[in-house]
Amino acid sequence: MRRNLKALAAACLAGCAAAPADPSGAWGGDHISLTIGADRSELEFDCANGRIDGPFTLAEDGGFDLQGVFVREFGGPVREGEVLPERPARYQGEIAGAAMSLRITLADGASLGAYKLKKNTPPRLFKCQ
Residue 127 has pLDDT above 90, yes or no: no
pLDDT digits (tens, 9 = 90+) for 47-85: 999 999 999 999 999 999 999 999 999 877 777 888 889
Return the pLDDT at 14. Answer: 45
pTM here is: 0.81
**Segment 93-115, tens digit of pLDDT:** 999 999 999 999 999 999 998 99
Type of residue numbered 47: C
Q: What share of residues in the chain are helix, strand, coil (percent, to 5)?
A: 10, 45, 40
Helix (H, G, I), strand (E, B) or coil at 42: strand
Q: In sequence order, which residues have a C-beta less than 8 Å from that of residue 106 and are 6 or more positions away?
A: 70, 87, 88, 89, 90, 112
- The pLDDT of residue 19 is 61
* Domain extents in the chain: 18-119
